[in-house]
Chains A and B, each alone.
Chain A
Amino acid sequence: MTAVCPALLAVLAVAGAVLLLGAGWAAGRWQARRGERAAGLDLGTPVERATFHTLHTASLAAPPLRAGLTEDAARKAARRLRSLLGTEALCLTDRESVLAWDGPGADHHERRAMARVAVMLESGRSQSVRTECQRPDCPLKWAVVAPLTGEDGMLGALVAYGSRESAVLVRAATEVARWVSVQLELSELDRSRTRLMEAEIKALRAQISPHFIFNSLAAIASFVRTDPEHARELLLEFADFTRYSFRRHGDFTTLAEELRSIQQYLALAGARFGDRLKVTLQVAPEVLPVALPFLCLQPLVENAVKHGLEDSTEECRITITAQDAGAEAVITVEDNGVGMDPALLRRILAGERGGSSSGIGLPNVDERIRQVYGDEYGPVIETGVGAGMKITIRIPKYRAGVHSSPSGHQPPHP
């Protein structure tokens, strides 16, 4: 014990010294940097600094307002706006009711505030009025009511309370109300942009090419006499395929359903091309329930068939795989067809060249997948002239808002 003690003490002393040295060094650095900053950085005149402060407060109030004039947004914004105006109390209303009240006096002023807002909404101009509050301790003596306007007229009002009448407050409140109005207009813009995007997705839903319908019917017709049973089967496939493709509800489906539609498509294409079409499937059953945009694989298979069959006379091999990769499914569609010049493909995807036979589906699928999952999930295409084409798509197993709506119907054949 006695032998251990001095050694321990020595170790402790060294450790303490090191710590002290380190702390001293850090403190010195900090002092030095503070000095540098104070000397080297010009923070501006008091007026400029006040402006910066105001702009900063305003920028803090902006994000909640971009969600529109809701209770939640108003509550978050009201606090910032009151510190911006420096008033006793501030309230935001829509046309019917008070959305948020920041500061004292909510209990007895709230109801009367709406009466004043109603008056103001009729005139449409900001007003400064006496609150005629009976309570001696209540600081809210004067109120400035300013309108909040959107694209379709007045949405509500901003009411700022002060202890005395002040032209400055009137002016400031009006300006702040105007600034809030701009944010609200931006929020409306945001919403209409989202609506536009939704409409775009709907419009982008792949459509069956008329050629395919004509060709399929012609192929079926050729079997009607020679093999009526086969013709009947093909007609049923055709019915199922069109039912799936024309369905209205839901933007998303499951991989299993998409594969079923591909099977129907290939059965019809096979009727036309016979043994030249060879298809291999490699599907991990774990990913069959994955939800994905409606008709986002079928156009790729259609492309593969076109590349493999229509532009050559050789046998066409198409390989479709779906693998399980943790939180994602990796789907590939590969053909051994004519391929494509990558530069041309890039132009088609960029929308500079309308796809003729070279694939109307590809840019469409590309765009929809990017819209739903983001750019990092865009399809990866490997191709070259005469080298076939391989398209790889990664689909996350879960994405907020993506829910498959199954067709709920079973194919009539076994």
Chain B
Amino acid sequence: MNQTYALTAVAVVVVVTVLVGALGLRISRTTSDFYVASRTVGPRLNAAAISGEYLSAASFLGVAGLVLLQGPAMLWYPVGYTAGYVVLLALVAAPLRRSGAYTLPDFAEARLESQAVRRIAVLFVVGVGWLYLLPQLQGAGLTLEILTGAPHWVGGLVVAFVVSAAVAAGGMRSITFVQAFQYWLKLTALLVPAFFLLAAWAGDGAPRATFDAPAVFREHTSVTLAEDVRLSLDEPLTVTVTGQVDGRGYVAAPLTLAPGAHSVRAHARLEFAPDTPVPDTRAESGLGVSSWSEPLSGGRPEHRLYATYGLILATFLGTMGLPHVAVRFYTSPNGRAARRTTLVVLGLVGAFYLLPPVYGALGRIYAPELALTGDADAAVLVLPERMLGGLLGELLGALLAGGAFAAFLSTASGLTMAVAGVLHQDVLPARGVRSFRSAVLVAILVPLGGSVAATDVPVADAVGLAFAVSASSFCPLLVLGIWWRGLTPQGAVAGLVTGGGAALSAVLATRTGLAPAGWTHTLLAWPAVWSVPLGFLTMVAVSLATRSRIPAGTAATLARLHLPENVAVDRAWASPRRSEGEGTR
């Protein structure tokens, strides 16, 4: 891939992002026209901003990578990412806006009138935000690594630097415009190349991707492995090897591997003849590649159904608790607008998710060796070069690289701002603009450190973990808080700590590789199935046990959450107006 084009594209995305952030406000709102200036953010603009912030590296690169590896079963990911907004729309959007809360801890305090619940909620917001930031930074590292060969931590560093520099320079003043711009940029970056790729695919005779059988190398392919890999073969395989296989060194020697397991050392080059099936791989270094190739099974096919439900629950119920999503609803002028915004988000996000599976399927046909090297997330980036080649391929590849970087930038900046807002409000002692800047630094440096230290987990998978924690902690809090009068502060604390805490520890155990293999690993890697009900049950049970502690203002708060704003006003206005009218008659 031509580095110059790709790097130029990335640089252009960064510069344009900063410029729109710094100048967008000036262009659009410096005016003496109050009517224009005091126009609130409309549902369409806000929805584009939410989508721009929401569609992260997991969507842009990860979904295609998983479809390449696993086939259509992975479509549950985009379905879940989108369907979360259905739940948000039906249960949460409008009441959350009417509560007047900016962050989720604000909501906890407004609803339960308790500082203790607020503090626990702060912990979870920061936890979920950092878990979600981690894969963004890792993904950025992967993208730059593929584009330039830079070490994997450089990309994360670049994203962290751009985000904190933009905030420190007082930029990102019109964050809504930036994020909305990023959505359309990402959509364009996927849509335009997709047309060209599909045309090339049709010109190629429209070969079918096979998902029930192993993928097949279409042409003579040579693969250089980045790490030690264990191949498990069902049939004999003939390859030309340069490097170490099963402990013996070869130099450009043809070799037929018998069925069974074979270990291949890093840096070995394998050359496959056309029509050879792509072998199954398993990393020797533990978790890494095994969950690459079988993300939903944890190594065993019989857990697939359980893992699928884990994914569905986490994504359906987790969206509402993502800090950067919740914060954006504050921008809507009222509850009705918040609901309409969510509806538009469903459309925008749904439209976007039609594209990554196309790339996944094409990748299965044209770049099957990515499954072998563990770089399936790169499928989107390498396809134009592979299928089209020449200047066109390079330009489209550059467009995709720019789009991918936009994905990291927008999600990372949204998350950083949300986490920094909470840190600034509740954790750091001093107030003021300078303390907000230091909060931004803390918010991005911790996950940056984590991204350098943590093991490689596929981007889409790592995001799933953040969803699971959010679904087990904030979903019970929001749903019960909005729809059940009986919730008490004690119940909320117990539910948050039990449900969210259990999911968080499971996730941490998985990420640090402490979980033993087998069922335990599956249970810990997909905690939502048991931790969400656990959170709900604990919250309900403890609330029922402490029924005398229901906050005094519950009835008033719930009325405010559920009544449209103008209804409340009409009631307040009704009596004076009528008496005035009678008085003048």
Q: With a CB–CB cut-off of 8 A, which chain A residues contact B195?
A: none
Segment 218-269 of B: residues with Cβ below 8 Å from A: none
- How many residues on the A side are at the interface (Cβ–Cβ under 8 A)? 44
- Nearest chain A CB to B174 CB, angstrom units: 6
Judge if B431 is at the interface, Cβ distance under 8 Å.
yes
Q: Which of A184-192, A207-215, A248-256 touches B?
A: A248-256
Q: Are B331 and A286 in contact (CB under 8 A)?
A: yes
Judge if A30 is at the interface, Cβ distance under 8 Å.
no
Q: Are A256 and B421 in contact (CB under 8 A)?
A: no
Judge if A83 is at the interface, Cβ distance under 8 Å.
no
Q: How far is the CA of A406 from the CA of B568 in the complex (A)?
A: 9
Q: With a CB–CB cut-off of 8 A, which chain B residues contact A400?
A: 109-110, 113
A402's nearest neighbour on chain B, judged by CB, is B100
Q: How far is the CA of A397 from the CA of B420 in the complex (A)?
A: 14
- Nearest chain B CB to A258 CB, angstrom units: 9
Segment 377-414 of A: residues with Cβ below 8 Å from B: 394, 396-398, 400, 402-408
Segment 326-377 of B: residues with Cβ below 8 Å from A: 330-334
Q: How far is the CA of A324 from the CA of B433 in the complex (A)?
A: 11
Judge if A84 is at the interface, Cβ distance under 8 Å.
no
| A contact patch SS | mixed
Q: Are B173 and A324 in contact (CB under 8 A)?
A: yes
Segment 225-256 of A: residues with Cβ below 8 Å from B: 248-250, 254, 256
Max count, chain B CB within 10 A of own CB: residue among A289, A325, A397, A404: A289
Segment 537-585 of B: residues with Cβ below 8 Å from A: 548-549, 560, 565-566, 568-570, 572-573, 576
Q: With a CB–CB cut-off of 8 A, which chain B residues contact A272?
A: none
Evaluate whether A288 and B333 lie within 8 angstroms (CB atoms) in the complex, with A407-B569, A408-B565 already known: yes
Q: How far is the CA of A379 from the CA of B31 in the complex (A)?
A: 25
Evaluate whether A282 and B30 lie within 8 angstroms (CB atoms) in the complex, with A325-B436, A405-B572, A408-B569 already known: yes
Judge if B13 is at the interface, Cβ distance under 8 Å.
no
Q: With a CB–CB cut-off of 8 A, which chain A residues contact B103?
A: 327, 398
Evaluate whether A323 and B40 lie within 8 angstroms (CB atoms) in the complex, with A288-B333, A406-B565, A408-B569 already known: no
Judge if A263 is at the interface, Cβ distance under 8 Å.
yes
Q: Are A285 and B176 in contact (CB under 8 A)?
A: yes
Judge if B32 is at the interface, Cβ distance under 8 Å.
yes
Judge if B106 is at the interface, Cβ distance under 8 Å.
yes
Q: How far is the CA of A309 from the CA of B566 in the complex (A)?
A: 38
Q: Are B421 and A327 in contact (CB under 8 A)?
A: yes
Q: Are B37 and A259 in contact (CB under 8 A)?
A: yes
Judge if B381 is at the interface, Cβ distance under 8 Å.
no
Q: With a CB–CB cut-off of 8 A, which chain B residues contact A279?
A: 32
Interface range on chain B (Cβ under 8 Å from partner): 35 or more
- Nearest chain A CB to B533 CB, angstrom units: 30
Q: How far is the CA of A165 from the CA of B106 in the complex (A)?
A: 54
Q: With a CB–CB cut-off of 8 A, which chain B residues contact A285?
A: 29, 39-41, 174, 176, 331
Scan B417-449; emit 1 where CB is below 8 A from any A CB, else 0: 100111011000001110010010000000000
Q: How far is the CA of A297 from the CA of B251 in the complex (A)?
A: 79
Q: With a CB–CB cut-off of 8 A, which chain B residues contact A71?
A: 548
B439's nearest neighbour on chain A, judged by CB, is A326
Segment 165-222 of B: residues with Cβ below 8 Å from A: 173-176
Evaluate whether A281 and B173 lie within 8 angstroms (CB atoms) in the complex, with A71-B548, A327-B103, A408-B573 already known: no
Judge if A260 is at the interface, Cβ distance under 8 Å.
yes
Q: How far is the CA of A323 from the CA of B172 in the complex (A)?
A: 10
Which of B113, B175, B570 is the one whose CB lies under 8 Å from A286?
B175
Q: With a CB–CB cut-off of 8 A, which chain A residues contact B37?
A: 259, 281-283
Q: Are B41 and A286 in contact (CB under 8 A)?
A: yes
- Nearest chain A CB to B180 CB, angstrom units: 11
Judge if A262 is at the interface, Cβ distance under 8 Å.
yes
Q: Are A282 and B29 in contact (CB under 8 A)?
A: yes
Segment 323-346 of A: residues with Cβ below 8 Å from B: 323-328, 330
- Nearest chain B CB to A144 CB, angstrom units: 28
- Nearest chain A CB to B139 CB, angstrom units: 25
Judge if A284 is at the interface, Cβ distance under 8 Å.
yes
Judge if B479 is at the interface, Cβ distance under 8 Å.
no
Judge if B512 is at the interface, Cβ distance under 8 Å.
no
Judge if B102 is at the interface, Cβ distance under 8 Å.
yes
Q: Are B576 and A281 in contact (CB under 8 A)?
A: no
Q: Are B420 and A249 in contact (CB under 8 A)?
A: no
Q: Are A408 and B100 in contact (CB under 8 A)?
A: no
Q: Are B569 and A398 in contact (CB under 8 A)?
A: no
Q: How far is the CA of A254 from the CA of B333 in the complex (A)?
A: 9
Q: With a CB–CB cut-off of 8 A, which chain A residues contact B568?
A: 405
B177's nearest neighbour on chain A, judged by CB, is A285
Judge if B485 is at the interface, Cβ distance under 8 Å.
no
Judge if A123 is at the interface, Cβ distance under 8 Å.
no
B174's nearest neighbour on chain A, judged by CB, is A284
Which of B26, B34, B417, B422 is the one whose CB lies under 8 Å from A263?
B34
Q: How far is the CA of A405 from the CA of B106 in the complex (A)?
A: 18
Q: How far is the CA of A278 from the CA of B31 in the complex (A)?
A: 11
Judge if A132 is at the interface, Cβ distance under 8 Å.
no
- Nearest chain A CB to B397 CB, angstrom units: 35
- Nearest chain B CB to A269 CB, angstrom units: 13
Max count, chain B CB within 10 A of own CB: residue among A72, A250, A256, A281: A281
Which of B35, B106, B175, B560 is the one whose CB lies under 8 Å from A324?
B175
Judge if A376 is at the interface, Cβ distance under 8 Å.
yes
Q: How far is the CA of A319 from the CA of B570 in the complex (A)?
A: 35
Q: How far is the CA of A71 from the CA of B330 in the complex (A)?
A: 37
Judge if B101 is at the interface, Cβ distance under 8 Å.
yes
Evaluate whether A289 and B436 lie within 8 angstroms (CB atoms) in the complex, with A326-B421, A398-B103, A404-B100 already known: no
Q: With a CB–CB cut-off of 8 A, which chain A residues contact B548?
A: 71-72
Q: Are B34 and A284 in contact (CB under 8 A)?
A: no
Judge if B25 is at the interface, Cβ distance under 8 Å.
yes
Q: With a CB–CB cut-off of 8 A, which chain B residues contact A326?
A: 417, 420-421, 424-425, 436, 439
Judge if A65 is at the interface, Cβ distance under 8 Å.
no
Q: 7 A–B contact pairs at CB < 8 A?
A: A263-B34, A281-B30, A286-B174, A396-B425, A398-B101, A406-B566, A408-B573
Q: Which residues of A contact B (CB under 8 A)?
A: 71-72, 248-250, 254, 256, 259-260, 262-263, 266, 278-286, 288-289, 291, 323-328, 330, 376, 394, 396-398, 400, 402-408
Which 8 interchain pairs have the tightest Cβ spacing?
A: A263-B34, A397-B102, A408-B569, A398-B106, A408-B566, A326-B421, A259-B38, A281-B37
